[in-house]
Amino acid sequence: MNTELLRSPAGLALPPGRTIASEEGAGDVAALWMSDDAVTAGLWAQLLAEHATSGLWPLLLDSLHPGDDEFRPWGSGELYPEDMSSPRSHSPAELLAGWWEKHTDAGGEGGAAQAPDGLPAATVPFGRTWPGFAPGREPATDPDQVAAAFAQVFAARRPYVRLGLVAAGSGADALAAVGWSGPMNYDNDTAKYAAVVRDWERRFGARVVAAGFATLHLSIAAPPTTEEDALLVAAEHFAVCPDILWQGPHPSLASYAEQLIGAGNWELWWD
């Protein structure tokens, strides 16, 4: 990645930083550019506004441990773009239905075997039956404005976050393009998860704002507004990230869904 290309079309100067090569690329694949130090959410928002021209998607980068000198996984190069397929080659509907079946199959390998007893009860009212997509709706506010506001909140909570720039058409595509492996305990091909996030961009005005070692932070411009719709969104989240029930504070989809009504951001994490 040529650092000369990392000067925005509007002449916005970037802070000191460096390109990061993927761990498996022997230095020949530049996965992203990363700032050397913390950045402001304002800079992130400016770069988001220029994405259509620059082709570079900005990410607020979180680390596995605050103060970690390696700034894992980004600074340590634990990135695997060579191993990722294209998000466009996957069907979000087929992925969600398949993951749901796997995670709710009491006899399945690596699925409900890790889950607490009584999983069908936890997934009431759906049980082991995949309920299908949650309906999307038109956002009342520009998704990029919602993203900029959430970036301010996120950076204030984690003042050590750095800036990452990835050559990608969208935030969802950036997850695969950079070779991020947050969900690797469930699947090594992040493009599958990116395919679902692409669909959330379409249905809910989602924007990928930040990512950590195994966490993903999205702004949401058109969140569910009813219990019924929130339950369907919660089902999608469980299919993508079953740890929200298996290891999170919520005992059921219904409990988790309550926090999704009107929520302007979603956080997913994989153990």
pLDDT digits (tens, 9 = 90+) for 152-176: 999 999 999 999 999 999 999 999 9
**CA distances from residue 264 to 141, 202, 234, 246 in whole angstroms, order as listed:** 11, 15, 14, 24
Grade residue 148 by pLDDT with cuts at 50, 70 and 90. Answer: very high
Dig out the tokens for 196 from the structure: 């679902």
pLDDT at residue 108 tops 70: no
Q: What is the mean pLDDT of residues 72-82?
A: 94
Per-residue model confidence (pLDDT) at position 120: 72
> Who's near 184: CB < 8 A, 6+ residues apart?
214, 270
Are the beta carbons of 34 and 70 closer than 8 angstroms?
A: no
Q: What is the mean pLDDT of residues 2-19?
A: 66
Q: CA 72, CA 166: separation in Å to the nearest integer?
A: 17
More confident residue, 111 or 22: 22
pTM: 0.91
pLDDT for the residue 10: 53
Residue 221 has a pLDDT of: 98
Average pLDDT of the chain, as a whole number: 89
Please name which of 201, 195, 166, 169 lies closest in space to residue 183, comparing C-alpha atoms.
195
User: Phi/psi of residue 32, each to 5°?
Assistant: -165, 170
Question: In this predicted structure, which of 46-60, 92-106, 132-146, 224-238 has the lowest mean pLDDT?
Answer: 92-106
